[in-house]
Structure 1
Amino acid sequence: MFKLFTKDFWEIVARLILRNKIGILVIIILATLFFSYQWKHMRFTYTEANMLPDDHEVNITYNGFLDIFGEEGNLIVLGVKDSTLFTVEKLNAWNQLSEDFKAYEEVETVVSLNDLQKLVRNDTTEKFDLIPFIKDSITSIEQIDILQEELFKKYPFYDNFLFNTETKTIRTAIYLKKDIVNTSARKDFIMLTLDKKIKAFEAATDLDVRISGMPYIRTLNSQNIVDEIGLFIGLALGVTSLIFFLFFRSFRATFISLIVVCVGVMWTFGILGLLNYEITVLTALIPPLIIVIGIPNCIFLINKYQHEVKLHGNKVKSLQRVITKIGNATLMTNVTTASGFATFILTESKLLKEFGIVASLSILAIFILCLLIIPIIYTFLPYPKERHLEHLNKRWIGGFVNWIERMVREQKIAIYVTSLVLIIASIIGIYKIKISGSLIEDMPKEEAFFKDIRFFEEEFDGIMPLEIMVDTKRKKGVMKLSTLKKMEQVEELIEETPELSRPISVVSLVKYSKQAYYNGNPKYYQLPTSQENSFILAYAKNSSSDVNLLQNFVDSTGQYARITTFMKDVGTDKMERIEEDLQNKIKKVFQPADRYDVTMTGKALVFQKGTKYLVKNLAISLSLAILLISLFMAYMFRSLRMIIVSLIPNVLPLVITAGLMGYLGVPIKPSTILVFSIAFGISVDDTIHFLAKYRQELQSNHWKIRKSVYAALRETGVSMFYTSIVLFFGFIVFTTSSFGGTVALGALVSATLLFAMLSNLLLLPSLLLSLERSIANKEVMRKPSINIIPEEDDDSEETINS
């Protein structure tokens, strides 16, 4: 394929572009309208990202659990920790607030203090009756005292579910209908109804209501993603265009570049809509990424145009040379950048695949737009004014390039020693890196909903569901006393784990049934003996049509039971140890093993497994990116030695960044490991530009190596500096995010690209000079497979009539 990209090919492309400019502009406008029409298919994710493939064992287990017990993440909790709540007026207001939510069609059920009921033994009917703790409304403080006495001391079944007996924190549980949990109806209810009612309640009672639960967290988290897309696009446009203007001192050039990247962003959103992908925390980064990557393309093309105009004053000839000389180089650099992103497609993670597809397609699209729009627009504009070309003679940038050249000439040993020291220090730092990740780790720390998560963790030991499903392999096997006792042992193990909340299961209900059978005496809150079991369960079965004691805890056949607990926000490594410890203990409890099948699942576990899986896949994608670009270099230069020389200055910045992460305590997690593939795909562009120019200089200077290295350094140094500065500040924009992962991504990519610029400007030419005898010879460099920068041949160039 690349055989096509010869000088003759690019001359044909130049003629087609400049002779058919009106038609091409019409096609671009129509394509933009088409992509804009696809925006209607865009949608924001209503679920947390599932980083595991659909056929992964963990996903299969989780989906099997959902098939039996339904959606688990449908609980919203409201909480109040305030002693003034226990007054007649405020407690009635709190109960009324909970009652009001029952009227909404999105709500399946609400459980609050007002809904709590005692199980009372009825010997006449031989069943349990339900009697509410609160009848109608509360009329006196004495009633409140009795209520507190009963709830906090006599009924352990409800402890840590709707109240904390130690801190007197009260909460209400709102269960959304399971069929709306992953739809826009959930968002509408939470954003338009729930928040509005809570704010009105707070204003009326002067109580601080805390809100949490997976549906609420997911909704506000998604809304933050939506809000930040606009922020990032605006900041990326502002920062990159400001830097562009400072370099070029031309409103015209700045405006043209803005047109190009804005159209590129429109196309990116169109690609998302066309492919019917959701906007996630990853795909939300692509539009500003396209701006940051697109502006350097504009710099290369406009800088070359202005340089050519200043050289010979022929506008049409200058535009032809922009396409023929820069088109191939820009294509190659965009292909390598797109390749860095495209490696994510080869992973098994749907989240990463979608990110890789949209990012790589968008990068190729922005290249095409730059190559078409910039030359065409300049054909309609007058010659650049003298002040627009002044930046070509800037002394300060010349001083920077001179310093780089002087370092390469005189301080090669210092460059090597510094590189070696950095490698050793970085390797030490890499051993300090930890793998981490949790469902809420990267969420905005300053947002109220994040503080509420911490509140519920303190008061109720976590909000992330962890489920243990027991398959007894026979109908009605759950209610066997032997099974209940084994489940009780598992619950005791869970209670011994400080990171987990008090579990809820059918065991608690059976214990409550025994307490009710003995007239509510709390000392009988325990499993029945084998003698008691038959007649206590008979009462429970007689009550089931009215009370439905087993609802949500045992399936309809009585074969499956669930034990639900909630996990605090702990790191992946700690969570892994908790899971392993519990699994080993559970195996010992449920014996013989062939009679039970016990699995652990839930949102918390799925995310933890997803994090580990993603880290592994991202490491593979980085290796693939390096391999892919190595093959590209091999095809381009036909030399193993050139591959090694070109990779060293690009791998070194990755090693330094990894070392910094270790020293600074930044863990490896989904958001931070993206850094390496992104940065490598972008930084290798500088290497390609430099080596292509170096080869051209070798031919022009009759294979005089030193002269060619310094000439290539002076020629490409300015562009490399310009583009690196744009990329640095472009990615720094992401540090304004409220998401910790996005902040880390922005800071680390910026730092890596800065290291990469210095590495390509200092280490790469030093290596070429030191290894000149073995790599810089005619056999290696004379006939590459891809001629990135066509040789100068002014006589053969055809002036194209505009």
Structure 2
Amino acid sequence: MASDNPTESSQDAPSGLGSARFDDAESRRIAQRYRRRLTIGVVLLVILAVPAVIHTKSAMDGLVNRPPNWLPDDLPEKVVFNRFMTRFDLADLLMVSWEGADLQSPQLDAAAAMVDLLSVEGVATADGTVPIRLVTNDDVAVALPDGYPVDEAKLTAIAERINEILVETRTVSELSPPPTDETGPYHDPNYPIIWVRSGEDTVRRMMASPANFPRGAAQRRLEGSIVGPDGEQTCLLIALTDIGATHRRSLLPQLRSLVAETVGKDPDDPTEIVMVGGPIDGATVDDASVRSVEFFAPPSAIVAALMCFLCLRSLPLTATIVSIAVVCEGLVLAIVYYTGTPMNAVLIVLPPLVFVLTISSGIHLSNYYFDAAEEFADLTPALAAKRALRAGMVPCLLAVGTTVVGLGSLTLVRLHPIRVFGFVASIGVSMSLLLLLWCLPGAMVMAGFRNDDPKRPKRPPRFVAAKWLTHWLAEKYKDFVRARLARPWPMIFGFALITLGAGQGLTQLESSVSVPRMFLPDSFIRTQYDWFEENIGATVSGDLLVTFPKPPAVVASGDGEQVDAPESPEAVDLVDPLDQLRIVQAVHKAAIDEPRISSVLSAASFIPPVSRSRGLAGSASRTVARSLIRDPDSSLGSLGFISHSDDDYLWRLSFRLPQKVEADYGSDLSRIDATANAALADALASLEVDPAVAAKIDVDLTGQVAIIQKAQEVMLRDLFRSFLAAFGVVAVVMVLLLKSVQGGLIAMIPNLFPTVTIFGLMGLIRSPLDIGSVMTASVALGIAVDDTVHLLSRFGSRRARGLSLPRSALGALDQCGIAMLETTMICGLSLMVYWFSDFVPTSHFAVLMFSLLSAALFGDVFLLPAMMASPLGNYLSRTVGSDPEASLTHESAESTDNLIHSVHEVPWQDRETITKS
């Protein structure tokens, strides 16, 4: 009870903060200081908003998604992939088709000719400049097949479309007229297309000398890859330059319209032309990522602001918190831009995450202000703000610190965008807390109290709204919690069973970075892939690389000098080219026999059967075959299936897999790799290749599907590694916070509940982690610890004043519960706005974060209080940052009455303590 002497009050006011110790002048001085800080903070926010706006746009303009580039270059699979891409000079490959794109059709040749006008065969002027060569109507007319039906208007439309593409994708600004005869050919990388080939082009090459395949045989060899099952439907293969890939979001719609105009389709109907492949995947993901931010960030911020105002019922507090959240949301994108990392689908969920974490910190700080106003009725708004800052600073710093630890653990993930995500998000969250600590006290002073009687300050307006909104629910909840805290062990065992049961699914958790799976089944990109696979062939590409060594380029002469090796087949080739062909044919046949592989193309597909006869014709056949293999400029070498270097021959076997409903190609790729290696070993044995040479011949699995699969495996493996690292560091923080090893480990149990339960359930229902949700485990751990820290701080305060475990647990929950519920509602529901996105990673991120936030709330309002009320609570009492002076007065208003009325629900050993207090 309070002392009659107001200056010696032991409970109604803390020492040094009561009205008897603070006169109006001091209160005005504090209020003036806080208002001045708020003014400086507003100016700072305005200044920070400038780069936030400008460089947010710059970051979004540079958005590009290339999952193969996300892996570290020292990863063995990435080393093989980089070698593969470099040796075969591969670029992003686009496949284009339409109804009626048949072999020998004039529309196919016309479309290929028009796209070829965008290729890299530019020109250089005498002074070395690189002008752009604009296409004229005559250029278009000459390139079109003879007799192709086209009028002048159509020629003009096609020429204008081509020139528009050239200008938009050009990186130099100078426009020059067509070159004169004095200028020579120039390989211009600033053009968007490297080369274009049609199915008919490939068939003609196979029919030409020296292969001389009959048309029917050539078509059958290409079925399932670039020729459909009907033997007629085919496509264009278009290789993009780096410039073309960079501008793919603007290039591909123009390219689609160009093909449509050329073949007589509607250029305004995107469904008329089917486009699949890496560039269309990346462009579609890029567009969806930008659309997610542009369409859903504003309504998400509006929902958060409205809910924040409904909970706080204070315009100054709401405006300050939301303004800081919005500015920090933009600043993290600006920081991404400053790091030089292109925006991508992983980083696209960074702004909403920082936004909700800022809102959460602001709500908790505001709650300390409201508690101070309610506990100490004689405090002015300025003094209540000062007390809130003193009481809330340590818990908020600890809470945000643990969140930063969770985010920082993502830097252990080897996927580059996720490392950047963890680094930038840590900066954003820390920056937002500093701004809140600087600005929010001034907003608290401006918020003030509702004073019906000027001589008697009342509780802030937020409590009126809270009672109106949550009174019935709060009473029912209190009744339930009182009963559970009287017997805490059933609650603890119940949570343990749920966690263990759901945790069984962690071993079945999968991940996916497959682009088609990032969109709904009825989405445009999925329907395009479905059409292509039904009418032409599989679209998931992979490659097998067979390496044959060459002898050293120089040999030692008798006098010790180095001279060139003799140019004889025996000296040039450790393995005869015909034996190389037979080995590749064996691997080719084994691959095509794999049930999941729909087609295989290799150099063996373009070489006719080699005669084994000893006559002149057989000898000539073998000589021609050897020449085709050895000569990189031969008709076979130009197809891109054999790469020559001073050290080896590298043969490429390209295979296709159909799109799967499942996320994982791991089992298929493992079987293909094993089959290829077995076929290689059998072929080497049958040809009796020298063991020393055979040891240097190997086959590697690579290509897009292999590198994407590796990215999925790295993502999943590193997810657990980063989570364990975050858990370990946060556990150490909790040990220091509670000054007890046992207490720190016990306090971590409720924080494991949301992550283990939600991710375990995802494994049980086979819902894979995608690029939008892979980082949420570590984030969820940090968020869950936020509420734990605030709750433990209030619990420690009550225990320090001698209250029983159940009373301390219920009092702490009564004081923190509203803020915990508000932060979960505001953050969860504002994020759920992104659930309406048709971009699956963004939608999954919203649902997963809402689920994790809700599970964390359940753990903190049911499991943690039950543990506090049990004998385990003795290890959770010594909390750094607890405030003993505020332990009892909060309960003196309403919660004490509730506790006294419910004394029969408290264990008998605690009733005496409650009655006496």
Larger Rg: 1 or 2? Answer: 2
**Offset at 1:269?**
1.6
Residues 500-519 of structure 1 aligned to structure 2 (within 5 Å)? 500-511=597-608
How many residues are aligned here? 739
Correspondence list, 1:673-688, <5 A: 673-688=774-789
The equivalent residue for 2:50 is 33
| Counterpart for residue 346 of structure 2 | 282
1:705–1:772 Cα contact (<8 Å) kept: no
1:95 to 106, 109, 112: 109
> Which amino acid in the other structure matches residue 481 of structure 2?
E
Q: Is the 8 A contact 1:615 1:669 kept in 2?
A: no
Q: CA shift at 1:18, angstroms?
A: 5.2
Question: CA offset at residue 642 of structure 1?
Answer: 1.2
C-alpha contact (below 8 Å) 2:224/2:536 kept by paired residues:
yes
User: 1:49·1:280 contact (CA, 8 Å) conserved in 2?
Assistant: no
| Cα distance in 2 for residues equivalent to 1:695 and 1:542 | 80
Q: In structure 1, what is the Cα distance between the partners aligned to 2:54 and 2:774?
A: 34
Describe the SS at the equivalent of 2:701: strand
Matches within 5 A, 1:286-305: 286-305=350-369
After TM superposition, give the deviation of residue 433 of structure 1 in Å: 4.2
How many angstroms does 1:251 deviate by? 4.8
User: How do 1:318-397 residues align onto structure 2 when only pairs under 5 Å count?
Assistant: 318-379=384-445, 389-394=463-468, 395-396=471-472
Query: How big is the alpha-carbon RMSD for the aligned residues of Structure 1 and Structure 2?
Result: 3.7
Work out the CA distance in 1 between the residues paired with 2:850 and 2:769.
17
Structure 1 residues 431 and 538, CA gap change in structure 2 (3 angstroms): closer
* Aligned partners of 2:329 and 2:351 also within 8 Å: yes
CA shift, 1:381, in A, is 6.1
Following superposition, the deviation at residue 432 of structure 1 comes to 5.0
Equivalent position of 2:847 in the other structure: 747
Pairing partner for 2:543 from 467, 484, 491: 467
Match of 2:178 in 1: none
**Equivalence map 1:606-645=2 (5 Å):** 606-645=707-746
Query: For residues 460-491 of structure 1, what are the alpha-carbon distances to aligned partners after superposition, in whole Å with 9 as ceiling and x for unaligned?
Result: 44323312222210156687111101101111
d(CA) in 1 for partners of 2:617, 2:504? 60
2:758 corresponding residue in structure 1: 657
Match of 1:209 in 2: 273
| Aligned residue among 66, 71, 74 for 1:47 | 66
Paired position in structure 2 for 1:578: 671
Using the TM superposition, name which of 271-280 and 164-173 deviates more.
164-173
Mark the runs of 5 or more structure 1 residues left unpaired by the alignment.
1-6, 132-149, 519-523, 795-802
Q: Kindly report which structure 2 residues correspond to 1:30-429, keeping only aligned pairs within 5 A, or say none.
A: 30-36=47-53, 38-39=55-56, 42=59, 43-48=62-67, 50-71=69-90, 73-81=91-99, 91-104=105-118, 105-112=191-198, 115-116=201-202, 118=204, 128=210, 151-152=215-216, 155-166=219-230, 168-177=232-241, 179-180=242-243, 182=245, 184-195=246-257, 197-198=259-260, 201-203=264-266, 208-309=272-373, 311-312=377-378, 314-379=380-445, 389-394=463-468, 395-396=471-472, 398-429=474-505
SS at match of 2:869: helix
**Cα distance, 1:566 vs. partner?**
2.3
Q: Deviation at 1:21?
A: 4.2
Q: In structure 2, do the counterparts of structure 1 residues 403 and 151 end up closer, same or farther at CA, with 3 Å as the change threshold?
A: farther
Corresponding residue of 1:787: 881
Matches within 5 A, 1:529-568: 531=619, 533-537=621-625, 547=635, 549-557=637-645, 559-568=649-658
Note if contact 2:583-2:680 (Cα within 8 Å) is conserved in structure 1: no
User: Distance in 2 between the 1:565 and 1:113 partners?
Assistant: 16
Is this contact kept in 1: 2:410–2:775, CA < 8 A? no
SS in 2 for 1:164: coil
* Separation in 1, partners of 2:281, 2:575: 33
CA 1:213 to 1:529, structure 2 compared with 1: closer, same or farther past 3 Å? farther
Q: Is the 8 A contact 1:478 1:561 kept in 2?
A: no
1:585 and 1:235, CA in 2 relative to 1: closer, same or farther beyond 3 A? farther
- The 8 Å contact of residues 544 and 702 in structure 2, kept in 1 or not, is answered as yes
Contact 2:798–2:884 (CA under 8 A) maintained in structure 1: no
How far off is 1:342 after superposition?
A: 0.7
Question: 3-state DSSP class of the match of 1:278?
Answer: coil
Partner SS state of residue 545, structure 2: strand
Structure scoring higher RCO (CA < 8 A, sep ≥ 6) equals: 1
Q: Which of the two has greater helix per residue? A: 1
**Residues 66 and 291 (structure 1 numbering): CA distance in 2 closer, same or farther, change over 3 Å?**
same
Q: 1:13-50 CA deviation, whole Å, 9 max, x = no partner? A: 99975554444443443344345454475221252354
Q: 1:597 to 1:221 in 2, by over 3 A?
A: same
After superposing the two structures, state which structure 1 stretch, 377-386 or 393-402, moved more. Answer: 377-386
Give the alignment's TM-score, normalised by structure 1.
0.83
The answer to whether the 8 A contact 1:735-1:747 is kept is yes
Residue 768 of structure 1, aligned match among 851, 860, 868: 868
Secondary structure at 1:305 match in 2 = helix
For residue 488 of structure 2, what is the amino acid of its counterpart? Answer: K
Letter in 1 for 2:819: S
The verdict on how the C-alpha distance between 1:434 and 1:162 changes in structure 2, with shifts beyond 3 A counting, is closer
1:645-685 CA deviation, whole Å, 9 max, x = no partner? 21111212323223322332223565544332221111111
Residue 193 of structure 1 and its aligned partner are, at CA, apart by 3.5
Q: Deviations over 1:182-209 (max 9, x none)?
A: 5x23333213443564378432799832
Contact 1:735–1:742 under 8 Å retained in 2: yes
Aligned-partner Cα distance in 1 for 2:115–2:385: 66
Query: Structure 2: how far apart are the matches of 1:676 and 1:119?
Result: 53
Q: Distance in 2 between matches of 1:296 and 1:205?
A: 46
Q: 1:263 to 1:531 in 2, by over 3 A?
A: same
Partner amino acid for 1:719?
A
Distance 1:503 1:764 in 2: 58
